[in-house]
Chains A and B, each alone.
Chain A
Amino acid sequence: MEQLVESISKIPQLIVYGIISGSILTLGAVGLSLTYKILNFANFAHGDVMALGAFFALASLTFLRWLGVSATPFGSLSFGFPMIIAFIIAILLTAVTVIIIDRILYKKLRKTGRIILLVASVGVALSLRNIIQFIWGPDPQYYFKKIQIAKKILGIRIKPDEILIIGIAVLLVLLLHLFLQYTKMGKAMRATSDNMELARVTGIDTDKIIIWTWVIGSALAAVGGILVGIENKFITPELGWQLLLPIFAAVILGGIGNPYGAMAGAMIIGLSEEISTAFISTAYKPAVAFIILVIVLLFKPKGLFGGK
C-alpha cells in the first residue's frame, strides 16, 4: 500500500517526462505516418533517419567548434548559436540523403510493391546505423558537456532545455498543420494520401509529392533526433533502433496516414512509457510501446481515430 502511494506520488513528474518524450516521438511519428500513407510502405529506416539527423548535428557542432565559433549558451539553455546552425545543416543533409536513397533505391522498387520496399528499408536501416557506427564508433557522443540544473515549478522538476523541446515540437506541428491545410502543396499531399490514382488523374504531380513527403518526413525526423540528443545529453548509433518501435506504435495508434492521430499516438506512447516506470522496472520501459501496439491491433487495428 505504502509502495503504491509512493508510486502514485511520482506520477505528476512522470507526466512531464512523458510529454517531453511524447513531443520528440511526435516528430518521428508524424513523418513516418505521412510516408507510410503517401509512399504506401512501412519505412523501417525512419528511426535511423532520426539518428542520422542527430549525428549530422553532431558533425556540424564539431565543425563549428573547430572553426572557433563561440558556443556561449543562450540564457539558461545548455547550448548557443552553433546549435541553430547545426539544426539547419542536419535538416538539409538528412533530407538530401533520404532523397538520394529514394532515387537510387526506393523509386526503382516502387513498382514491385510495398512489401519489397519494406524489406529494402530494413536493409537501409541497418546500413545507416552502421555507417554512423563506422564514423563515430559505438560509444555515446555528447553535444555539450555542460550539466543543466533542473528548475522546480509547482514541485515538478523541468530543465529549460526541456521546455524548449516541447516548444519546438508544438511549433513544428503547428507549421505542418498550416502547411497541410492551407498551402496548395499541402492539399495536394492530403489528396495523394487519400487516393494516389485519383490525385494523378486530377493533374497532381505525384513524383513531386513524393519528394516533398520525404523532405518533410526527414526534416521532422532530423529535428526529433537532435532533440533526443539534447534531452538525453548523448546519442548512440542504437538511437534509431530504440525509436523505431515507439514511433511505429504511435503511427498505428493514431491510424496510418493521419498526422494528427500520430501526434496523439506519440503522446500516449510517451506518457505510458514514462508513467509505467512508477510501477514496473525501467528496464522494461521499451516493451510498453509493444504492449500498447498489441492491444491496439487486437481491438482497434485502424487506430483510435481511424476506420473511415
Chain B
Amino acid sequence: MENLVGILNYLVFFAITAGIYAVLCLGLNIHWGYTGLLNIGIAGFYAVGAYTSALLSGPPPGAMDLRIFGGFELPFVVGLLGAAVVSGIIAFLIGIPTLRLREDYLAIATIGIAETIRLILKNADWLTNSVWGIKHIPSPLFDPIQSGISGFLKDYPNIPQWLKSLISNGYNWFYLILILAILALIYIVSERIVRSPWGRVLRAIREDEDMAAMSGKNIFWFKMQSLVLGAMIVGMGGSLYAHYAKFIDANTFEPFYGTFLIWVMLIAGGSGNNKGAILGAFVIWGIWAGTDFFSGYLALSGIRVASLRVIAIGILLELILLYRPQGILGEEKRVSKMIKD
C-alpha cells in the first residue's frame, strides 16, 4: 500500500510538470499548429511569464538579494494574468519587424529574443537578481491548505502510515487540480477560437498566405493576433511553473527545456490538434522522465546520461518528422463548430 502511495505521489508530481508543458504546447499550437508561425524562442516568453508572475506575486527582495524591484505580493491571479499580458507585449514587439517577412525570419528573431531575455535574466541584478534567481515565490493557497493538513494529521494521529503520506502530499493534489482546470480552460478557449471564422483565417494563412491575402485578409494583423495570443498562453505556463517551483533562475529557461522539448511534444502529439498538443506533452514528458529511470543502470556520469537523453529526444524528433510527420493524432481536418464529426 505504501509503495502504491509512493507511486501515486510521483504520478501527481509528474502530471503537474506535464500539465505545465501541456499549457506551453497549446500556446505553441496556436503559433505553429494553426498559423504556421515558427517560434523557436518559446523559452523567452516562458521566462517572461515566470519572472513577471514572480515579481508581481512574490515577496519583496530579501536582505541578500541584489534585486531592488518587484515583490508586490499581489494575488496569484494577478501574477498569472500579468504574465500573460507582459509576454503578449514582448510578442507584439517582436512581431513588428518579423511578421511581414518570410517565416524563417521569425524563427531567427525569436531565438534572438529568447537569448537576449536569458542575458537579462543572468545579468540584470536590479530586476532578476541575476544568477541567484528569485526565491520564495508563493504557491497559491499554500498556507491554508498546509495548515489544514497538519491540523488533520494532529487530530487523527492513529491513521495508517500510507494514508499519512497520501494526505501530506495534499498540496500537490490541489496544485494539480488547479493546473488541470487552467489547462481545460485554455483548451476550451483554443478549441472555440480555432473553430471560429478567425481560426479558419489562421489556417488559411498557414496553408497559403497569398491566397488568404487575396481574400482580403490582413495577413500581418492576423499573424500578430496569433503570435500575441500564443505567447500569452506560454506566459501563463511560465507563471504556473514559477508558483509551483517557488524558485526560478536563468537555467530553468534553457533552450532545451524551454523550447526544444515543447516542439517535440507538439510535433509528436500532432500539430494543429489541441488534443494532440496535450497528449504530446504527457507522452514526451513520460519518455523524458522514463529515460531518467533507466539512467541508473548505465555506468555513466550524470552529465553524460543527460546528454544521451537529449540525443535520444533529438533522434525521436527526426524519426517522427521522417516517418510520422502528422504526429500521433494528426491534424483535425474539419474545424467548425457547425459541423459535428
> Which residue numbers of A lie inside 8 Å of B, CB to CB?
41-42, 44, 105, 108-109, 112, 114-116, 118-120, 122-124, 126-127, 130-131, 133-134, 137-138, 241, 244-245, 248-249, 252, 281, 283-284, 286-287, 289-290, 293-294, 297-298, 301
Contacts of B112 in A (CB 8 A): 245, 249, 289-290, 293-294
Take A130-B307, A283-B119, A290-B116 as given contacts and tell me if A42 and B322 are in contact as well, using a CB distance cutoff of 8 Å.
no
Q: Is the interface of A mostly helix, strand, loop or mixed?
A: helix
Would B311 and A283 count as touching, CB distance under 8 A? no
Within 8 A of A (CB), among B36-67: 36, 38, 40
B321 close to A138 (CB less than 8 A) = no
In the complex, the answer to whether B263 meets A119 with C-beta atoms within 8 Å is yes
* Stretch from B99-107, B231-239, B277-285 that touches the partner: B99-107
**Closest Cβ–Cβ distance, residue B25 to chain A (whole Å):** 15
Query: Given the complex, which residues of A lie within 8 Å of B267, measured CB to CB?
Result: 119
Assess whether B255 is in contact with A287, with CB atoms less than 8 Å apart: no
**Which residue of the partner chain A has the closest CB to B94?**
A294
Task: Report the separation of the CA atoms of residues A47 and B36 in the bound assembly, to the nearest whole angstrom.
Answer: 25
**Chain A residues closer than 8 Å to B307, beta-carbon distance:** 130-131, 133-134
Among B77-85, B133-141, B157-165, B312-320, the one that faces the other chain is B312-320
Q: Which residues on the B side are within 8 Å of A286 (C-beta)?
A: 115-116, 119
Q: Find out whether the CB atom of A244 lies under 8 angstroms from the CB atom of B111.
A: yes
Which of B36, B105, B263, B318 sits near A301, CB closer than 8 Å? B105
- B218 an interface residue at 8 Å Cβ cutoff? no
In the assembled complex, the Cα of A123 lies from the Cα of B260 at a distance in Å of: 8
A131 partner residues in chain B, CB cutoff 8 A: 307, 311
Taken together as a complex, chains A and B put the C-alpha atoms of A289 and B112 apart, in Å, by 8
- A120 near B107: Cβ-Cβ < 8 Å: no
B98 contacts A297, C-beta separation under 8 Å: yes
Known interface pairs A118-B104, A119-B263, A294-B109; A284-B119 also in contact (CB < 8 Å): yes
A123 and B123 within 8 A (CB): no
Most chain A CB within a 10 A radius of its CB, from B96, B107, B122, B314: B314
Most buried by B among A118, A119, A281, A283: A119
A219 to B315, CA, bound (A): 24
* In the assembled complex, B69 has its CB within 8 A of some CB on chain A: no
Q: A297-B101, A301-B101 are in contact. Are A122 and B115 (CB under 8 A)?
A: no
Q: What is the interface of chain B, defined by CB distance below 8 A to chain A?
A: 36, 38, 40, 96-98, 100-101, 103-105, 107-109, 111-113, 115-116, 119, 122-123, 255-256, 260, 263-264, 267, 303-304, 307-308, 310-311, 313-315, 317-318, 321-322, 325
The B contact surface, by secondary structure, is helix
Bound CA span A119–B100, Å: 21
On whether the beta carbons of B107 and A123 are closer than 8 Å, the reply is no
- Among A126, A244, A252, A298, point to the contact of B314 (Cβ < 8 A): A126
A-B contact list, 24 entries, CB within 8 Å: A42-B107, A115-B103, A115-B104, A116-B325, A119-B38, A119-B263, A119-B317, A123-B260, A123-B314, A123-B318, A124-B318, A126-B310, A126-B313, A127-B310, A127-B315, A137-B303, A245-B112, A248-B108, A284-B119, A286-B115, A287-B115, A287-B119, A294-B109, A297-B109
Which single member of A108, A118, A297 contacts B322 (CB below 8 Å)?
A108
- Contact status A134-B311, CB under 8 Å: yes
Expressed in whole angstroms, the Cα–Cα distance for A123 and B264 within the complex equals 9
Task: Give the residues in chain B near A137, CB-CB below 8 Å.
Answer: 303-304
**CB-CB under 8 A for A127 and B311, given A116-B325, A287-B116:** yes
**Nearest 7 CB-CB pairs, A to B?**
A127-B314, A290-B112, A134-B307, A297-B97, A130-B307, A123-B317, A130-B310
* Interchain CB contact (< 8 A) of A130 among B111, B263, B314: B314
Q: Compute how far the CA of A105 lies from the CA of B325 in the bound complex, rounded to whole angstroms.
A: 13
